[in-house]
């Protein structure tokens, strides 16, 4: 695995998930491909208004992820760069020294695929259950089409307005910690 970065974009939505089993059943009715559960540890680094995290995965696919996106509850475009990481421990140590660690988030992520869409059912330590819908943009999927796909899946998965989340897991975990 070569450490080269890849530039990508998606349209995404995040929400609290009140009933994981109902969402899972709805996904199966949509013929979603069940890709299983992966344990992830995301180390977020202090970068001011920029966002960067090192994702360590139980599947051995470790990545450095740099991304930008607005903090809004509406579906939003996110642009990001992925860089495969060969030695996550060494990368974490060096970046921690250089930038400082903002937060560490541990979660179990159940991934489903529906066409160009990744749907995550996340069980996040200290926070609970969340649902993320991410439509990968590309030649066949424009940003406008991505927003339409998210809206359609939001309706089919019964995501309510009051469950929408605008912020990253790192920000939410930081808010949950005692002062």
Please list, residue by residue across 15-53, b when 16 or more beta carbons sit within 10 angstroms of its beta carbon and e when fewer do.
bbbeebeebbebbeeeebeeeeebebbbbbbeeeeebbb
Q: First and final CA of the chain: distance in angstroms?
A: 41
What integer pLDDT is reported at residue 47 of this predicted model?
Answer: 82
The model carries a pTM of 0.91
Residues 6+ apart with CB under 8 A from 148: none
CATH number of the structural domain spanning residue 11: 2.40.320.10
What integer pLDDT is reported at residue 7 of this predicted model?
Answer: 79
Residue 174 belongs to some domain of the structure: no
What integer pLDDT is reported at residue 174 of this predicted model?
Answer: 79
Residue 176 belongs to some domain of the structure: no
Model pLDDT for residues 104-155, shown as the tens digit of each residue = 999 999 999 999 999 999 999 999 999 999 999 998 999 999 999 999 999 9
Residue 100 belongs to some domain of the structure: yes
Bigger pLDDT: 178 or 24? 24
Residue 10 belongs to some domain of the structure: yes
pLDDT band per the 50, 70, 90 thresholds, residue 1: very low
Residue with tokens 């019964």: 158
> Looking at residues 4-13, what average pLDDT do you find?
84
Residue 178 belongs to some domain of the structure: no
**Which residue range(s) make up the domain with 103?**
6-169
The number of beta carbons lying within 10 Å of the beta carbon of residue 79 is 13
Max CA pair span of the chain: 47
Number of domains in the chain: 1
Model pLDDT for residues 30-88, shown as the tens digit of each residue = 999 999 999 999 999 988 777 999 999 999 999 999 999 999 999 999 999 999 999 99
């Amino acid at each position: 695995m070569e450490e080269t970065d890849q530039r990508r974009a998606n349209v995404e939505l995040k929400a609290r998930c009140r009933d994981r089993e109902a969402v899972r059943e709805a996904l199966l009715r949509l013929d979603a491909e069940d890709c299983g559960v992966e344990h992830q540890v995301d180390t977020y680094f202090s970068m001011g208004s920029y966002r960067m995290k090192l994702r360590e995965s139980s599947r051995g696919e470790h990545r450095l992820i740099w991304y930008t996106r607005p903090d809004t509850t509406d579906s939003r475009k996110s642009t990001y760069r992925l860089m495969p990481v060969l030695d996550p421990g060494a990368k974490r140590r060096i970046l921690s020294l250089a930038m400082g660690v903002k937060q560490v988030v541990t979660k179990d992520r159940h991934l489903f695929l529906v066409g160009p869409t990744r749907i995550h059912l996340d069980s996040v330590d200290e926070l609970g259950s969340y649902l993320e819908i991410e439509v990968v943009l590309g030649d066949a999927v424009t940003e406008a089409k991505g927003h339409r796909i998210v809206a359609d899946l939001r309706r089919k998965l019964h995501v309510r307005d009051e469950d929408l989340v605008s912020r990253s897991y790192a920000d939410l975990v930081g808010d949950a910690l005692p002062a």
